[in-house]
Amino acid sequence: MSQKRRARDSGVPSSSSTTSGKKTRKTISLGTKLDVLRHFDAGERAVDIGITLGLTPTTVRTIRSNADKIRASARCVTPLSATKISRSRSSLMENMERLLSVWIEDQNQRNIPLTMVVIQAKAKSLYDKLKKDQGEGSQTEMFMASRGWFDRFKRRFHLHNMKMSGEVASADTAAAKKFLDYLKQIIEEGGYSPKQVFNVNEMSLYWKRMPEQTYISREEKTAPGFKAAKDRLTLLLGGNAAGDMKMKPLTVYQFETPRALKGFSKEHLPVIWRSNKKAWITGAIFSEWLTLYAVPAWKEYCAKENLDFKILLLIDNAPAHPINLDDLCENVKVVFLPPNTTSLIQPMDQGAIAAFKAYYLRRTFDQLIRGTDGEGKPTIRQFWRDYNILKCINNIGESWAEVTQACMNGVWWKLWPECVNDLKGFKDVVPAMKKDILRLAKKAGFDEVEEADVTQLLQSHGEELTNEDLMQLDMM
């Protein structure tokens, strides 16, 4: 058995332990097996499911490997035996709930409040879309997104923070607090140093968007078919808790070779370049990033620092993070943050990503002023029209380089305060950056721009995932 597998199974009595009597084989009901599969659908790990349901991780993984047979059995149970399971659930319903959980997590990542009514409406909409696409065979199935269904869905997907009254969801502080003790135990048992513990997170960047009060933004809204302000790419940013290793940014854009990149070697860009039609980081892209880039980079870093090659990677439950990442590399242990805790404890969301965005926006404004200030130089309109994806990529690289080691280390203060070198000295650079950006905007001639406009621009997120988006993301 590998070291990683033993570590994941720690705390569970070994089957090789001696006993005084003959072992009895434990019969696992169909209902329990289905419950295991629902926990897997919710993105939980085998060891955590085992602890919750009182099963060994090996048994849990065996159930997962026989998922198709178990679900087939559930659809064929007789009314007599059906009393022993909670209820038979169709694949249509299971698919809907799985995609709904992805949508909820995406909304949580955007800090968008949710209510019971909003979730019920989305569930009904998703179900109807899946039912229509599935064809005539599913037309007899009915789903009303009732209160009873909502309560069961909450339990299945552990939405503890959703109030029974349908009040607005809030960050799950209880889960975040519990996770701190869990993480501390993992770090101590694994012997990880701050140099070996990493966090990465995705972010959307509207790379050619100006504050809404500028005349350029107003012109774009009235220009037919002009979508420069909506042009978006997705970045994956991260680094270790020591703050001395920042990962090369992974960039996903909607075009494989935009006009500005023709003739350029993508391997020499300051980012890792990938593409798909939605400019999304998908599960396939994330897995490829982990195996082809992250693991070799970590191995080289550990060798340089004279460290054992073992990495603890902390990530959230975003749609792009497959649950089987633990199986991709023997030396990398992947731990998922609890749902709806990103705003509370995820390091990259505690200041690193915000600092990068502020540096990027300040840099573009500074270039705009230097590129248009003087006789014979282009106008602001001309400069902004010529601001292409290659210039954006270079600014991404330089802005990410501006994020200091102190910042990359300091953002861990909520999740792992013991690893922060100067907790009192850690400062949020964004307020100062906002003032610089506002000053540069005024200098460029955008007198109507206020600090609130800068804040809104820095906090802009991607558009909400539609039903079609969820289904496409699921297939990628």
Strands 272-275 and 232-240, sheet pairing: unpaired
Exposed / middle / buried, residue 306 (Cβ in 10 Å: 0-12, 13-18, 19+) = exposed
Distance CA 363, CA 397 (A): 11
Residues written for the chain? 476
Question: Which residue's structure tokens are 């990410």?
Answer: 400
pTM greater than the 0.75 cutoff: no
DSSP string, 71-122: HHHHHT--TTGGGGSS----HHHHHHHHHHHHHHHHHHHTT----HHHHHHH
- Residues forming beta bridges with residue 204, ordered by sequence position: 234
Distance CA 262, CA 52 (A): 53
pLDDT at 327: 82
The helix (run of H) or strand (run of E) holding residue 185 is helix 173-190
Q: CA angle, 408 as apex, 407 and 411 as ends, to 5°?
A: 75
pLDDT at 474: 56
| Token digits of residue 308 | 């054992």
Three-state DSSP class for residue 333: strand
Distance CA 257, CA 259 (A): 6
Three-state DSSP class for residue 332: strand
- Residue ranges of the chain with per-residue pLDDT less than 70: 1-27, 69, 71-89, 109-111, 135-141, 158-171, 213, 215-229, 425, 460-464, 472-476
**Residue 351 and residue 428 in contact, taking contact as beta carbons nearer than 8 Å:** yes
pLDDT at 229: 59
pLDDT at 221: 61
pLDDT at 475: 54
Distance CA 363, CA 368 (A): 9
Distance CA 364, CA 209 (A): 10
Three-state DSSP class for residue 418: helix
The helix (run of H) or strand (run of E) holding residue 240 is strand 232-240
> In terms of CATH, what superfamily is 175-475?
Ribonuclease H-like superfamily/Ribonuclease H (3.30.420.10)
Comparing CA positions, the residue from 368, 424, 430 lying closest to residue 402 is 430
